[in-house]
Structures are given as structure tokens and as C-alpha cells.
Amino acid sequence: MTMPHTPALQLQGIVKTFPGVRALDGVDFDVRPGEVHALLGENGAGKSTLMKVLAGMYQPNEGRILIGGKTVAIRNPIEAKAQGVVLIHQELSLVPEMSAAENIYLGELPRKSLGRVDWKTLFAKSNAILERLKCRFRAEVTVANLSIANQQMVEIARALTVDARVVVFDEPTASLTDAEKVVLFDIITDLKAQGVGIVYISHRMDEIFTLSDRITVLRDGQYRGTLDTAATNEDEVTRLMIGRSLDLTRHEAPPEFGKTMLEVRNLSCAPLFRDISFSVRAGEVVGFYGLVGAGRTEIAETLFGLRSPSAGEILVDGQPVQITNPRAAIALGISLVPENRKEQGLVLHMNCRDNMTLPQVQDLTSGPFISNGAEIAIFDQYRDRLAIKTPSWKQSASVLSGGNQQKIVIGKWLSMQPRVLIVDEPTRGIDVGSKSEIHTLLRELAAQGYAVIVISSEMPEVLRVSDRIVAMYNGRIMREFDISEVTEDNLVQAISGIKAEEVA
Amino acid sequence: MSMFSNNPALRWLMHNPIWGFVLLIFVFFSLSADHFFDARNLQNIVVQTSTIGLIALGMTLVMINGNIDLSVGATLALAAAFAVDVQSWAAFATWGNWQILPAVCLALLAGIAMGAINGFIVWKTGVDAFIVTLGAMLGIRGLVFVYTGEQSFYAANFAYSDFSMMSLGPFPVLAVIFVLAVIAVHWLLSRTVHGRNTYAVGGNREAAVNAGIRVGPHMMINFMLIGFLAALSGVLLSTQMGAATPNLGRDYELWVITAVVLGGTKLTGGKGDIIGTLGGVLAIGILRNGMNLMQVPAFYVYVILGSILIAVLFLDKRFNRTQNGGLRL
């Protein structure tokens, strides 16, 4: 029996460096048995690195890890699990072609003689775990056929395969509905009552304040302090996190909007979304808010000609149009800044200029050759206009910061003279400073007369940039809010599938 | 699709379209080629298929694992050369028919060793398996020429070439060996932990690493298995010919990959099975045999097989595209 105050897990002075970066700089962290300890910090603050050290995926350069008061070396995830440390990944870490059961026991499938898999035990145990999680699917199903939320449940089920001392939840609710969240919180409370230490990583203050006992904040790889949840408030935590109070002001005084640039009527693309109707006017920013998998990105892809709608019509400038491919979309003045900058937005190893002129390089010719001068002129123009920080156009896009990469993508589309700009998750993986810069930029673009659609999963972001907010759930529009009538509560309700009562 | 899903046999065919194709060409040749349906000819098909089929079993493992092995044809030639040459070494001159044993063992070991080298390099350097085995393909073929001095070897012991003519009851021994290998590899892939981890590594390597699966050893084991199977195929082929030529097994890697891909294994890994691969090799075997009986010149067989390969993958792509909502990329 360990003493009640021996931490279940203790990290002391952890230092982890990567070439050129000190990702973790002397971080201390501990979890007591039966407590929920929230770990907070901006993107890039070192939370994930710290958890990877804990799970044995990275070896720390300095510092010690103590489990149950004893120093241990964790060389790989299996050793971590053997020590009772289980990590539930933020990005789904599943093999899509395998069954839920195999994923739950991945790496430690129960065996019979001759290295055979013991299917009976595997399915029995997995089904027992899924029942405990109140999941309404069986362990035999293939993971690829499950919804994102159910895949997340499979990921969580992995934590319950061993007698865990410490379970790390890395943003587990990012894709869960409210009902599923309740189940998850029950599980966490249950684990806690069994004396398991919980590390809970999340950006959502409300969750952290309902669940956690203590809060530790990291910033730029450094330990900023640990607070008792009961004795603190959101503002104090925010200040520790970003070094100042967060500017939550919405933009004011709705400007005069121009005429309707884009209108969508009863657009459907089975089974991804159904019956979508909305419009965007010049000078207006419309925010699309919803959970991952709600169908927002798919609508954008349809408007950009990457998918064929199964029903409904699209009107640009009041004229019905058929958008069968991105080339047609661009010709109509529709541009899409995609969700995944590095994979969909940029050719990472190409230089900044070439990335920016990519969609129009066939028009920038002099004779049979590409006109160098015309390309550089375009690059210079948008570098200045968007304040892109790069030493020269020759710089490879891969080495720029996230914010500057995003500006290159935005610049690329602005140079095509669009009328409608669709921006999908504009600040994903971008640090706080650049984030507000991008927000300001989006507002400025609207003010210059572009019709802007912003798709985002971050509530502060949609609240900050939008004039109107479209809330989506499960492929349908639940409600459309004017920025003046929206509150965090009714927005969360709408995206969780709860019908809003009619406002009188 | 929903009208099919009630009938389990039809549903099975939907997931294994290659077997529908096998059935189709089987019926077609039975009706239109005179001697196709003779028991003798059917035995022939299985024996002819077994050469490529054995390697395809290994290739299925390696490809599900997310790798590829282009060196199998060269490995086959090396093993055949060993098997035929070593039995005539002076050291074994007094062994009688037992002189075949060390020769075959050495040949199989050579195959395993080549696979182990491939696997080890892929594991430790992280260089793409395509490149590593492309190098191995050239290098091993070179070794074969060095070893044989550009000459063909002929088996001095007639027991060796008689082996291929033997039968177990009504079944030719080569066909029996192939069927046993199919069962063994199918069992390995679908029932054992190594098999399941092979899927996991190919399906999502990061997830496999995160789950603590040691990716490298699994890849190396699969490369050793394909090396073994290629060598076995080489030995059996040399018993059929009573000889080993330095050019043996040229282009076999392409036939094997064609068969495996026809059988539904994904080039990117994570998906596929032995049932499909068996369908793939049978499809190729039946087509070659049937068209041969109908006296279609061999080059047309190439044209037709090439077209079928592309058509099958095109249909598969169409099917998968509708599944992910028709994103045009």
C-alpha cells in the first residue's frame, strides 16, 4: 500500500530538446491517485511533447519520471502501459481496416498457443468494455464504418484494458456530442473513484472547471504553475496561459452589406449533408460552427466543385450555376482555403512565390516560358498586403511559421480576384499572436467587399469574426444566428443536436 | 447493392470480385476450349499457378505490411541455381539421393537470407522497400550470373526431376505443396498475432507504434517469409525443368504483384487477404492456360491481362470513391 499522498505519477525537471527547439524546459508535473489534474497551454506549449515523454515515445534529455514513488525509465508505449500509464490520443490512432476489438487490444492481442489470436477472449473482453462505456456498437465492427465520435470511444476503450494507475486524456471531447460527453465524464469520475490519477488535456474551460481538481499551465515549454481549481477562475488561468487576458470582444457595428454574392438552396450531398440553405452577402462574414464530421468541410468542398451535390442549387450573383470542378469554381470567383494547410493548401517544398502563383501560373507566361517578373510582382504585392514574414520569395514554404503559411494560402486565392472566400479552420495549429492577426485580416477582407465564409470548430473564433453564424449538426443546419442574438449556450445546444426553442 | 445483400453468396462475391471473374473465365473456357475441363488440364493449371502463387502468398504479407518486394524473381533464380548445383558437389557424391537434401536446404536458406537482408535494411535505414528491393533485384540477379558463370545447370540426379512428376493419390505433389502453403499462410495472416500486427502496421503505422507494436521485426519476418517462398518456388520450378537457368524468374515480380493486386490487396497496405490472392493467381493461371489452349498468341495474353488489371482497379476506385462521398481528388 502506498501512502495516500505519494503521487501516482511524478515528472521532475523534464527537458526535451529537438534540433533548434527547447520543447520542454524543466517541467514539473504530478498526479495523485484519485484526482483529475488538468494540463493547459496553447498549441505548441509542450503539452503533447510532455505526454509523449510520459508514454515513452520520446526520451527526455534531462529529468526523472517517478511512478508510485520509484524512478522508472519508460522506453516505449508498451512499457508505459505495463507501468499502468495509458495515453488516449487526441488524433485518432486507430487502424481503420481492423475491428474495434482489435484496435482496443492493438499491440497486446490475447494469445493462444502457436501465437494464435484468442478471438473469443478478445471479443468478450472488448464487448464488456464497450458496454461499460455504454457504446451502442459491437466490438466486431470495422472501425472505418464507425462515426468519428464512436471511433473516439474505441480510443477511450483502450484505457480500460489494463489496471491503469494514470490515464491521460488528450482533448477527448473534441468530437463528442453532449450525450457522449456525459458518458465520458461518468467514466472519468468512475476511474477517479477507483483511485486512478487522471491527466486531462483540453482547451475547453467549462470542462476543466467541472472536472478537474488541479490545473497546471505550460507556456512555451515552460512550467507556469499549478493552481487549485476551487481557488481560481478562468481569467487567472488564461493569464498564466497566454501572459495576458484574452481579448474576447466581438467586432462591433455591423457594416453595410452589399448584394448577395452566393446563395445555396436546399443543397444535399447524401449522406454527408442535407437540405442546406444559406446566403452570403458582399462584406459579410458567415461563420459555420459545428462538431468535426458535421458536414461543414463537405459543403465547402461541394461549393468548390470537389463533390457533386445530389440535390439543390447554387447561385452566384443571382445566377444558378453548375460547379463541376475547382477550375469552374475559381472562374466563378469562389476560392477555398482548405482545412489542412500543409497537406491541401501548400506544396510544402516549393518556394513561397511558386506556391502563391500556383493556380494562375499558366497565365503568367512570356512566350513559351513562365514570366519570372510577373510572378515576383504578384508575390511582392500580397506579401506587403498580408504582411507575410519571409526573408525572400525563394524560401521554401515548409520552414515558415503556421501563420505565415496560412497567409501564403490566403494570398494565393486573393491574387485570383475572388468574390467569395471560403476559409476552413483558418487558425488550426497557429499560435495565439498570429491567430488574432488572421482574424483581423478576415475582417479587413470582408470590409473590402469580399463575401467570406469561415468554418471553425473554435467557438471564440466564430464569435470573433462572424456577422452571422450557421450552426450545424449531423449534416443539417440547426439554426442560423445573428451575431447579436448568439450566446455560448444556445450555440453549444444547436451544434449538439438539441432543438432550440423558438425565440418569441 | 441492397438487392444483393440478402444473399450471402452474392454478398461475398461483392467483396471478392476477383472470384466472380475467376468463375466467369472458368465457365467461358470450359465451354469454348476443347480440353480445358479435363482433370489433367485442371491439375496442370494448379501446378502452373503454384510457381507464381507461392511467391504471391509472401507478397500478400509484405504488401499488407505496407512494403513491396521486387527481388523475388532474382531470389527464385538464385535458389534454383543452388538447388541444382549443390547436389552435384563432390562432398555429397556418396550420399545417393540424400544429396538433394543439403542442396534444397541451402537453396531455401539462401532465400530466407536474401529476405532477411531486405527486411533488415528496410527496418534499420527506413529506406523505402521499393528502392531497397529494386537494388536487391539487380544485385541478386548479378550474383546469380556470377555464381552460374552465365551457364545453365542441369540436375545430375534424376530423382530430383522425378519429384515434380509424383502424385499423392490423384493430386500432383506440387499442387499439394501449394495448397498446404496457401492454408498455412492464410492461417498465419488471419489467426495469429503476427498476422494481425501485419495489418496494423500497414493500415496505420503510427497507431501501431503508439500501441507499442515493434514495427521492424514484423516487417523483417514477412520479408524472410517471402524470401523463403520465392526460394521454394525456385526449387520446385527447377525440379520441373530438371535445370536452373540464370534468367529464371525474370518478370515474375510483376506477375506476382499483378495477381496480388487483382486479389484486392492495397498497394499502400493494411488491406487484403489470401483468399483474394488465390483468386488473383488462379485468374492469371486460367487465362494463360485457356488462351494457350485456344492458341491465342502469348503477346495477346499480356495485352488482355494488362487491360484487366487496369479495369479491375478502375472499378475498385469507382466503388471506393462513392463510398467516401465522391470527393474528386
> Could you report the per-residue pLDDT of B46-93, keeping only the tens digit for each?
999 999 999 999 999 999 999 999 999 999 999 999 999 998 888 887
A217 phi and psi angles, rounded to 5 deg: -115, 135
How many CB pairs below 8 A link A and B? 88
- Greatest mean pLDDT among A280-284, A292-296, B231-235: B231-235
pLDDT at A112: 86
What's chain B's average pLDDT? 89
Give, for B141, the enclosing helix (H) or strand (E): helix B129-148
Please tell me the least confidently modeled range out of A172-176, A295-299, A462-466, B201-205. Answer: A172-176
Look at residues A136, A169, A138, A140 and name the one whose alpha carbon lies nearest to residue A155: A169
**Closest chain B residue to A145, measured at CA:** B323
Mean pLDDT, range A287-294, rounded to an integer: 84
With pLDDT > 70 as the criterion, what percentage of chain A qualifies? Answer: 92
pLDDT at A44: 65
Look at residues B263, B289, B277, B231 and name the one whose alpha carbon lies nearest to residue B83: B231
Q: Which residues of B touch A114 (CB under 8 A)?
A: 192
Please tell me the least confidently modeled range out of A53-62, A126-135, B7-16. Answer: B7-16
Q: How many CA atoms lie less than 13 Å away from B97 in the CB half-sphere?
A: 6
Q: Which residues of B touch A103 (CB under 8 A)?
A: 207
The verdict on a CB contact (< 8 Å) between B328 and A106 is no
The end-to-end CA distance of chain B, in Å, is 25
Return the residue matching grid coordinates 524560401: A395
Please tell me the least confidently modeled range out of A456-460, B137-141, B276-280. Answer: A456-460
Each residue of A268-281: pLDDT tens digit? 988 889 999 999 99
Residues 272 to 331 of A: which have CB under 8 A from any B CB?
A: 272, 298, 301, 305-308, 325
Name the grid cell of A503: 425565440
What's chain A's average pLDDT? 85
Where along chain B do its domains lie?
34-315
B184 in A contact zone (CB under 8 Å): no
Q: Which residues of A touch B217 (CB under 8 A)?
A: none
Mean pLDDT, range A92-118, rounded to an integer: 87
Q: Which residues of A touch B195 (CB under 8 A)?
A: 117
Helix B39-64 to helix B274-293 angle (10° resolution) is: 140
**Integer angstrom CA distances of residue B146 from A271, A359, B72, B84, B150:** 61, 54, 18, 16, 7
The verdict on a CB contact (< 8 Å) between A77 and B211 is yes
User: From CA B49, how far away is CA B301, in angstroms rounded?
Assistant: 15
User: From CA A208, how far away is CA B197, in angstroms rounded?
Assistant: 37
Q: Which residues of B touch A162 (CB under 8 A)?
A: none
Of A76, A81, A106, the CB nearest to B200: A106
Strands (E), chain B: 153-154, 167-168, 171-172, 243-244
A113 in B contact zone (CB under 8 Å): no
Strand arrangement of the beta sheet that strand A260-269 belongs to: A273-281, A260-269, A311-316, A319-321
User: From CA B231, how far away is CA B54, in angstroms rounded?
Assistant: 9
User: From CA A134, how far away is CA A187, in angstroms rounded?
Assistant: 10
| Number of helical H runs and strand E runs in chain B | 14, 4
For B58, counting Cβ atoms within 10 Å of its Cβ (0-12 exposed, 13-18 middle, 19+ buried), the class is buried
Look at residues A122, A136, A453, A112 and name the one whose alpha carbon lies nearest to residue A289: A453
Residues 65 to 84 of A: which have CB under 8 A from any B CB?
A: 76-79, 81
User: From CA A156, how far away is CA A148, in angstroms rounded?
Assistant: 12
The pLDDT confidence band at residue A500, using thresholds 50, 70 and 90, is very low
pLDDT at A20: 64
Residues of chain A with CATH 3.40.50.300: 9-242, 260-346+419-495
CATH code of domain A9-242: 3.40.50.300
The verdict on a CB contact (< 8 Å) between B210 and A94 is no
Each residue of B18-42: pLDDT tens digit? 898 899 999 999 999 888 888 889 9
Q: Using the predicted structure, report yes or no on whether residue A253 has a pLDDT greater than 80.
A: no
Q: Provide the shortest C-alpha distance from residue B218 to chain A (in Å).
A: 12
The verdict on a CB contact (< 8 Å) between B208 and A97 is no
Give, for A98, the enclosing helix (H) or strand (E): none
Which CATH superfamily hosts domain A260-346+419-495? P-loop containing nucleotide triphosphate hydrolases (3.40.50.300)
**A455 SS3 class:** strand
Each residue of B145-202: pLDDT tens digit? 999 999 999 988 888 888 888 888 888 999 999 999 999 999 999 989 999 999 999 9
Q: Which residues of A touch B209 (CB under 8 A)?
A: 57, 77
A109 in B contact zone (CB under 8 Å): yes
Q: Which residues of A touch B329 (CB under 8 A)?
A: 306
Q: Which residues of B touch A108 (CB under 8 A)?
A: 211-212
To test the contact with chain A by mutation, choose from B185, B193, B206, B213 the residue with the greatest count of A C-beta atoms within 10 A, namely B193
The CATH class for the domain spanning B34-315 reads: mainly alpha
Residues 355 to 384 of A: which have CB under 8 A from any B CB?
A: none
The residue type at A362:
Q
Strands (E), A154-234: 166-170, 197-201, 214-219, 222-228
Contact A307, A393 (CB under 8 A): no
Q: Provide the shortest C-alpha distance from residue B272 to chain A (in Å).
A: 10
The verdict on a CB contact (< 8 Å) between A306 and B328 is yes
Neighbours of B132 (CB within 10 A): 25
Mean pLDDT, range A205-218, rounded to an integer: 87
Q: Using the predicted structure, report yes or no on whether residue A348 has a pLDDT greater than 90.
A: no
With pLDDT > 70 as the criterion, what percentage of chain B qualifies? Answer: 94
B77 in A contact zone (CB under 8 Å): no
Look at residues B54, B98, B61 and name the one whose alpha carbon lies nearest to residue B76: B54
Return the residue matching grid coordinates 514495427: B215
Higher-pLDDT residue of A159 and A336 is A336
pLDDT at B113: 97
User: From CA B194, how far away is CA A493, in angstroms rounded?
Assistant: 46
Q: Beta strand A36-40 with A214-219: parallel, antiparallel or unpaired?
A: parallel
Look at residues B223, B197, B112, B221 and name the one whose alpha carbon lies nearest to residue A116: B197
Residues 179 to 208 of A: which have CB under 8 A from any B CB?
A: none
The pLDDT confidence band at residue A238, using thresholds 50, 70 and 90, is confident
Look at residues B166, B146, B181, B292 and name the one whose alpha carbon lies nearest to residue B239: B166
**A93 SS3 class:** coil
To test the contact with chain A by mutation, choose from B204, B218, B225, B324 the residue with the greatest count of A C-beta atoms within 10 A, namely B204
Q: Using the predicted structure, report yes or no on whether residue A504 has a pLDDT greater than 70.
A: no
Mean pLDDT, range A210-227, rounded to an integer: 88
Which residues does residue A219 pair with via DSSP β-bridges, in sequence order?
Answer: A222
Q: Using the predicted structure, report yes or no on whether residue A1 has a pLDDT greater than 50.
A: no
Q: Using the predicted structure, report yes or no on whether residue A97 has a pLDDT greater than 90.
A: no
For B196, counting Cβ atoms within 10 Å of its Cβ (0-12 exposed, 13-18 middle, 19+ buried), the class is buried
B318 in A contact zone (CB under 8 Å): no
The verdict on a CB contact (< 8 Å) between B192 and A108 is no
**B65 SS3 class:** coil
The pLDDT confidence band at residue B329, using thresholds 50, 70 and 90, is low
| Number of helical H runs and strand E runs in chain A | 16, 22
The verdict on a CB contact (< 8 Å) between B199 and A107 is no
Each residue of B264-291: pLDDT tens digit? 898 888 889 999 999 999 999 999 899 9
Q: Provide the shortest C-alpha distance from residue A256 to chain B (in Å).
A: 36
Mean pLDDT, range A334-352, rounded to an integer: 88
pLDDT at A43: 64
pLDDT at A466: 92
**A168 SS3 class:** strand
Neighbours of A331 (CB within 10 A): 13
The pLDDT confidence band at residue A391, using thresholds 50, 70 and 90, is confident
Q: Beta strand A85-88 with A166-170: parallel, antiparallel or unpaired?
A: parallel
Q: Using the predicted structure, report yes or no on whether residue A45 has a pLDDT greater than 90.
A: no
- CA torsion B223-B141-B239-B284 (nearest 10°) is 70
B191 in A contact zone (CB under 8 Å): yes
pLDDT at B324: 53
